[in-house]
Structure 1
Amino acid sequence: MVENKLWPYVLSLFRVIVGALFVCHGAATLFGVLGGTPGTGGATPAGTWPGWWAALIQFLGGALVVVGLGTRWAALLCSGSMAYAYFTIHQEKAALPIQNGGEAAVMFCWAFLLIALAGPGAWAVDALLTRSDQQAGAREPSNPVTDDIAA
């Protein structure tokens, strides 16, 4: 199989776009910006279940995904929150996402699952930290004698 050299960069752009859209949803609900909470136009009162908590996950989880910090775990949490939203909020209304208004929840769920499985791509804080760890390891060669004593 031929590896696509652009894949890590395309994955990074996909991660940033999906994460930024998720941040916008969270900001709308938490702060009443960008049109606010659907139906009310304002912010959802703090601590309200499940809307405020979902918005907190959207805002913070989306921000972590955008910068690529703890990407896999943040994306998995975001994916799970959208699965929960779909099955508890949308599924009760009708069987299919097009009928119950759950298209965004389904798309976000699967997009974040892809990010969780594929990783952050080339342009991410996680990638910088991994490179730093590898470079630090390269500078400090292991010594089996002293490593066994230190352990």
Structure 2
Amino acid sequence: MFDRLSVYAPQALAVLRIVAALLFIEHGTQKLFGFPVPAQAMAGQETLMLVAGLLEVIGGLLILVGFFTRIAAFVLCGMMAVAYWMVHVGMGGFWPVANMGDAAILFCFVFGYLVFAGPGDWSVNKK
């Protein structure tokens, strides 16, 4: 049975890439435009929030359409690792459930996977 499912792995990878990108873009629009809800302001880190928002929107769009996916995913994977250790650990300790860093960790590992797996189907740069 699972052999028949393996045929759809490239499409499943594409769905993972597209959904992760859409969610990631949402975090960027939150920081840049206050949409769909305003981001929590971090005093003294406005420039960091601007850079993060730009990376999230631009990198998210690249991953969404599958253009330079591996390069964009590499940059965003590193960004999420830095975000976890720099921002989230300081908010409530090491544990992701306590410091609201679970999304950063998931994005980090999804983007890390995309570095190695490539974009899958339905992308501008196929493999």
Instruction: With the length of structure 1 as denominator, give the TM-score of the two structures.
Output: 0.75
Number of paired residues? Answer: 121
Q: Which aligned segments of 4 or more residues in structure 1 are displaced greater than 2 angstroms? A: none
Cα deviations across residues 19-73 of structure 1 (Å, max 9, x unaligned)?
A: 0110111011111110121359xxxxxx933111011110000000000000000
1:118 is aligned to 117
Pick which of 9-18 and 99-108 moved more. Answer: 99-108
Q: CA deviation at 1:100?
A: 1.1
Q: Does residue 50 in structure 1 map to residue 51 in structure 2? A: no
Higher share of residues assigned helix: 2
* Pairing 1:48-87 to 2, within 5 Å after superposition: 48-87=46-85
Larger radius of gyration: 1
Instruction: With the length of structure 2 as denominator, give the TM-score of the two structures.
Output: 0.88
Give the Cα separation in 2 of the matches to 1:63 and 1:106: 20
Give the Cα separation in 2 of the matches to 1:48 and 1:60: 18
Q: Does residue 105 in structure 1 map to residue 107 in structure 2? A: no
Residue 49 of structure 1 aligns to a residue in which SS?
helix
2:93 is aligned to 94
2:8 is aligned to 6
Give the Cα separation in 1 of the matches to 2:78 and 2:94: 19
Pick which of 66-75 and 98-107 moved more. Answer: 98-107
**Percent identity for Structure 1 against Structure 2:** 34
Give the Cα separation in 2 of the matches to 1:86 and 1:49: 17
- Please give the root-mean-square deviation of Cα atoms over the aligned residues, in Å: 1.8
1:23 is aligned to 25
Give the Cα separation in 2 of the matches to 1:99 and 1:35: 22
Cα deviations across residues 105-142 of structure 1 (Å, max 9, x unaligned)?
A: 11111111111111100110001xx7xxxxxxxxxxxx
